[in-house]
Amino acid sequence: MDNQCLILLSKFSVAARKFIGSVNSAKMIRDSHYASDIFQQVDEIGDEELILLSLDLQNVLGMLKLPDIGKETLHEASKEKYVFGARG
């Protein structure tokens, strides 16, 4: 685990303490079920800054699940002409 992840984890733990109580940082890293429960509680609270920290931490820990939009959708989107530029 790198230094950036540890800093983000500590920021998240301190911010989450205000809303859901103590968060075990070591257990967040080792136990994915515990981490999922904590992230679910954060989502239910609805605090914007805490949710952003949560998403960043989930991304760093590899727990963030992004929707699969498929290659066809990306290809179609790249074909669309940009019409809101300075030249129109």
* pLDDT averages per 10-residue partition of the chain, 88 residues: 88 94 92 93 92 92 72 59 60
Tokens of 4: 């950036």
Q: What's the confidence (pLDDT) of residue 9?
A: 93
Q: What's the confidence (pLDDT) of residue 81?
A: 59
DSSP-assigned states of every residue in 15-82: HHHHHH----HHHHHH-HHHHHHHHHHHHHH--HHHHHHHHHHHHHHT-------HHHHHHHHHHSPP
Q: What's the confidence (pLDDT) of residue 66?
A: 66
Q: What's the confidence (pLDDT) of residue 82?
A: 57
